[in-house]
Chain A
Amino acid sequence: MDVISTRSLTKYYGKTKGVADLTMSVPQGAVYGFLGPNGAGKTTTIRCLLGMLKPTSGSATLLGEAVSLDGADLRHHIGYVAGEVRLYEKETGRWHMQYAAGFRGGKGRLADELLERFEFDPSRRVRELSKGNKQKLALILALAHDPELLILDEPTSGLDPLNQETVYSVIEERVAEGRTVFLSSHVLSEVERVCDTVGIIRGGQLVAEEGVKALLGKRLRQVGVEFAEPVDPALLAQVPGVDNVTAISATSLTARARGDAVDALIKRVAERQVLDLHIQQASLEDVFLEYYRDTAEPVAAEGGEE
């Protein structure tokens, strides 16, 4: 069952495009990373999913129910952390927890555990909290009632590495219990760490959607070869799908292989005597930058909108 599903979801702010023709789906139990730089349309998409923005056209369903502006029942099953945490500055963390509990019929079975794990003091007013502590409070408020679907917009923003790790652990535990996570981020290491599927959004449009492992494993590799004899860099540069060929020395070359080009590259390399060979998977950051290079073709164009 798809927990999140959108069909041609489009949102314009006047003439400005927020998100356009977005069709995607997130199955139950997935951790879906929604990746893109600031202004790409991530937050607009999330706000449309939560019924805070009215789509210009298209539709969305969450947990099998159509999203509407007044979908209160649906939000019983959703935990949300906004990209920029805005809470009532004069009120305490405890006040916010009681406030949320009032709507949800209880403080939530995970509330006490989360307070302990995040070492959060709920007696302090929001205006006294650091950015990181505000983020902790937002996470506690979103997670306390153990929602079926977590929508997290930059969830670790402002958190120290220790608390970031706590967030990742909590996400993994929730997913292990069958929950679904939709995580928007531009922190690539975060997406690489916790997500199993990633959708890349650019200029309001989903340009690719693929499993993180597949994306990392198939799309980009950094290859280093030590030959027994001097070689011309053109040896590798002529291979289709190979670029960034660099001569480290007369006998040593590095190159980047895209997609399935690694097979042809290895065959070309094998024409000469090889002393050493290193193949390194590109980081998600490399993949990400590839999508955003204006001049380059999308690396996984064929993998988009699976």
Chain B
Amino acid sequence: MSWTLFKATLHQHRTSMFWFAIGLVSYAWMMTWFYPTIGEEYANIIETFPPELLAVFGGSEVPFSSLGGYFQTEYLGIMWILIVSSAVIIYASRAFAGEIAAGTMEFVLSQPVSRVKVALTRVIVLVVYAVVLAMASFVPLEVFGPTYDINLGWDVTGMLIAFGTLFVLAVGGFAMLLSAIFRGGGKPGAIAAGLLGTLWVADLLSGASEAAEALGPVNVIAYWQPGLLINGEQVASEAWWLYGGIALVSLIAAVVVFSRRDVA
């Protein structure tokens, strides 16, 4: 890793990282704040929904009426995915393809730093980014929770941070691989976002249609069940392996591809 490049990359993404983190902290705090207000009514509200609609939102394996179900449906199931995915896809798209298109990669590689170091450093910053986003998402539940009668415990929060970090790394890693392959930040971002959207739709439809469940084994959205952890249960071990596997393979491939490609 290049320490100079690490500092510079963090410096250049400090503003976006800060605002995404602030947004997640605010959102998490808002959801804990709302819980006492709507929590008790939540089960009643959910019961008024038609079964088909519930099935669509029922990609979650978590009972709607539980604390985990509340957070999964209202925060972590859709909005959180959109926020963190946007953050890391933007970062990853710029990490290689965006800088090549902007011409700044030519300046970076005119310095005495190897391509492998450049790529590894950008990957390490992604890991930092993922940890920051996950902590901004889940630490507020632990910090603000007790005020609103939500008591997760640091062990659960730690699991949520780890699970969230892996999810973000899987999405970011895939986007980074695309960024190492293509030229121009737009294409990798569009493909990554498009694929994520497709998986999300597939997950929604799988609640209503058995045919859509075919994507289940590789659908990163379907495995995203943090509500189970909030409820003190365990997520499927396949979820950890899937996220970890995608992240590891994508990031290694991104380093290899970037170190061998034309960068101008």
B112, A104: Cβ atoms closer than 8 Å = yes
Does B115 reach chain A (CB closer than 8 Å)? yes
Give chain A's interface secondary structure class: loop
A84's partner among B103, B112, B115 (CB-CB below 8 A) is B103
Quick check: B102 and A86 within 8 Å, CB to CB?
A: yes
Segment 82-103 of B: residues with Cβ below 8 Å from A:
102-103
Inside 8 A of A73's CB, which chain B residues have their CB?
Answer: 112
Contact between B109 and A82 (Cβ–Cβ < 8 Å)?
no
Question: Which of B102, B114, B260, B263 meets A52, CB within 8 Å?
Answer: B263
With known contacts A47-B264, A53-B262, A99-B4, A70–B116 Cβ distance under 8 A: yes
Tell me which residues across on chain A come within 8 A of B4, comparing CB atoms: 99, 102-103
Contact B111 A103 (CB under 8 A): yes
Give residues of chain B (57-115) contacting chain A, Cβ–Cβ below 8 Å: 102-104, 106-107, 109-115
Contact A103 B12, CB 8 Å, known A69-B259, A69-B260, A86-B106:
no
State whether the Cβ of A291 lies closer than 8 Å to any Cβ in chain B.
no
Asked if residues B264 and A75 are in contact (CB atoms below 8 Å), the reply is no
Interface residues of B: mostly helix, strand, loop or mixed? helix
Q: Does B231 reach chain A (CB closer than 8 Å)?
A: no
Residue contact B113 to A103, C-beta cutoff 8 Å: yes
The chain B residue sitting closest to A145, CB to CB, is B112
Interface string of A48-82 (1 = CB under 8 A from B): 00111110000000000000011111111010101
Residues on the A chain within 8 Å of B117, using CB: 72
Task: With CB as the reference atom, state the residue of chain A lying closest to B3.
Answer: A102
A188 at the interface (CB under 8 A from B): no
Are the C-beta atoms of A103 and B2 separated by less than 8 Å? yes
A residues adjacent to B (C-beta < 8 A):
47, 50-54, 69-76, 78, 80, 82, 84, 86-88, 90-91, 99-100, 102-104, 141-142
Q: List 6 A-B contacts (CB under 8 A).
A: A69-B115, A70-B259, A75-B111, A82-B103, A86-B107, A103-B113
